[in-house]
Amino acid sequence: MGDNGGAPNNLDFQVDTTNLYREISITDLKIANIRQLIPVKLDGEDDTTRETIFIGNTQLGTPQGPIPMQAKLEAATLEEAMTCFPKPWNWKPRR
């Protein structure tokens, strides 16, 4: 390493222009947050040859603080994503 503030000399950052997504965030302002990742081409137009990805995010409260939870939702539409949102974690509240 040279005198460059501790950064490596040969950084090679390349954007994968064949794997671009536009992100939309959907929330119920309570518990659910779903990220909808829509594939796009380099010109910004939708890429209909690839599938939209849905990712569910939430937090579980614990005495030690919140635990973030995230999972890919097996859904083709936003409605399906909302329906299957809690299922990947199979939550069962403790009594």
Query: 85 burial class (0-12, 13-18, 19+ CB within 10 angstroms)?
Result: buried
Q: What is the Cα–Cα distance from 84 to 78, expressed in whole angstroms?
A: 10
Average the pLDDT over 64-72 and give the result.
91
For the chain, give the percent of residues with pLDDT over 70: 81
Largest CA distance in the chain: 59
Average the pLDDT over 4-33 and give the result.
84
Average the pLDDT over 41-65 and give the result.
94
Q: What is the Cα–Cα distance from 23 to 4, expressed in whole angstroms?
A: 34
